[in-house]
């Protein structure tokens, strides 16, 4: 069982779109997948057609008041399960700081699921801030997957998130954290986008997934219909890109240390 945090402190770079669609495509390939929505905005939850439910989120388990396993809901997709988000998560910042070991609360909450290897893959959709939810996700994860928009300023953000991972490793919160890969999102065929990809490849080489996600209107529309792209437009460019990413993800060699 592998836990992957989909993280980037920058907002609107495709974290949720990638978490939802990569999870769905890996489930389609027959793996048992859990998607955990850690963003109080609950975009991944509603994007899969699920209404936020009172008292059903990672909030209670992080506070030590409930079991994570009891928060798991089925989705309309075979092999795909979700722990939805709700607004309670917005309070976790304040609540956890009051408690001890607030960086590793989620890691602890995952221990029973790890012990029984309940899923093949667990994806954590992180919110766009450097707060307690994101650091808990990075502490709980085996690997971090970073979606990056194909634009120049993305590179600064990348250096920053890699720095945060190093800090967490050095602080002992997650000594084994590794970089699963970088997914380039919202790609438009322009010189600028190609230059950015080439530049990142120069610095990070193999870490970039070869499957680049194009910018398509369908990918932006699908969540408002509560559907992943392979249900909303199964034969389109977006579906093909996320299916290719899922295959590449599953055949990847071992990840690199961050």
Q: Which of 129, 125, 156, 160 is nearest to 140 (CA)?
A: 125
In degrees, to the nearest 5, what angle opens at C-alpha 195 toward C-alphas 210 and 221?
60
Give the count of residues interacting with Mg ion (CB under 5 A).
Answer: 3
Span interacting with Mg ion, options 38-46, 116-124, 137-145, 150-158, rule CB under 5 A: 38-46
**Could you say which of Mg ion, ligand ATP, none residue 45 binds, taking C-beta under 5 to 8 angstroms by partner kind?**
none
Looking at beta carbons only, is 69 or 93 nearer to ligand ATP? Answer: 93
Looking at beta carbons only, is 113 or 165 nearer to ligand ATP? Answer: 165
User: How many Å apart are CA 243 and CA 234, to the nearest integer?
Assistant: 10
For the chain, helix (H) and strand (E) counts, in that order, are: 11, 8
Tell the smallest beta-carbon distance from residue 188 to ligand ATP (Å): 9
Tell the smallest beta-carbon distance from residue 152 to ligand ATP (Å): 17
Looking at beta carbons only, is 23 or 43 nearer to Mg ion? Answer: 43
Span interacting with ligand ATP, options 27-35, 160-168, 203-211, 219-227, rule CB under 6 A: 219-227
Looking at beta carbons only, is 10 or 77 nearer to ligand ATP? Answer: 10
Span between the terminal Cα atoms of the chain, in Å: 20
Residues 142-201 that bind ligand ATP (CB under 6 A): 185-186
- Here's the x/- map for Mg ion, 10-29, by CB under 5 A: it reads as -----xx-------------
Are residues 61 and 68 in contact, defined by beta-carbon separation less than 8 angstroms? yes
Tell the smallest beta-carbon distance from residue 182 to ligand ATP (Å): 14
Q: Indicate whether 39 belongs to the interface with ligand ATP (CB under 6 A).
A: yes
Q: Determine which residue in the list 49, 52, 60, 128 makes contact with ligand ATP, applying CB under 6 A.
A: 128
Are residues 26 and 77 in contact, defined by beta-carbon separation less than 8 angstroms? no
Strands 178-185 vs 33-37: parallel, antiparallel or unpaired: unpaired
CB under 8 Å to 209, separation ≥6 — which residues?
A: 181, 182, 183, 184, 245, 248, 249
Go through 128-164 and write b for each residue having 16 or more CB atoms within 10 A of its CB, e for each that does not.
beeebbbbbbbbbbbbbbbbbbbeeebeebbeebbeb
Tell the smallest beta-carbon distance from residue 150 to ligand ATP (Å): 10
How many residues does this entry show for the chain? 258
Residues of this chain that interact with ligand ATP (CB under 6 A) are 11-17, 39, 43, 127-128, 185-186, 213, 215-216, 219-220, 223
């Amino acid at each position: 069982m592998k836990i992957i945090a989909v993280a980037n402190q920058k907002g609107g770079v495709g974290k949720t779109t990638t978490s939802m669609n990569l999870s769905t495509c890996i489930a389609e390939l027959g793996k048992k997948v859990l998607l955990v929505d850690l963003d109080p905005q609950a975009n991944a939850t509603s994007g899969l057609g699920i209404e936020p439910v009172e008292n059903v989120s990672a909030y209670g388990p992080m506070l030590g008041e409930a079991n994570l396993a009891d928060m798991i809901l089925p989705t309309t997709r075979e092999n795909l399960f979700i722990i939805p988000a709700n607004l309670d998560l917005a309070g976790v910042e304040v609540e956890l700081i009051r408690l001890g070991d607030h960086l590793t609360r989620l890691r602890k909450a995952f221990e029973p699921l790890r012990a029984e290897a309940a899923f093949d893959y667990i994806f954590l959709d992180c919110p766009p801030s450097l707060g307690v939810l994101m650091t808990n996700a990075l502490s709980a994860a085996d690997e971090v997957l970073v979606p990056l928009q194909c634009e120049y300023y993305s590179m600064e953000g990348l250096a920053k998130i890699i720095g945060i991972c190093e800090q967490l490793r050095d602080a002992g919160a997650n000594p084994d954290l590794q970089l699963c890969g970088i997914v380039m999102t919202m790609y438009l065929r322009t010189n600028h986008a190609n230059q950015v990809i080439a530049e990142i490849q120069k610095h990070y080489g193999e870490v970039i997934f070869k499957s680049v996600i194009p910018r398509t209107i369908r990918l932006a529309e699908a969540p408002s219909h509560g559907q992943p792209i392979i249900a909303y437009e199964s034969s389109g460019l977006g579906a093909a890109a996320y299916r290719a990413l899922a295959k590449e993800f599953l055949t990847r060699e071992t990840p690199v240390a961050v």
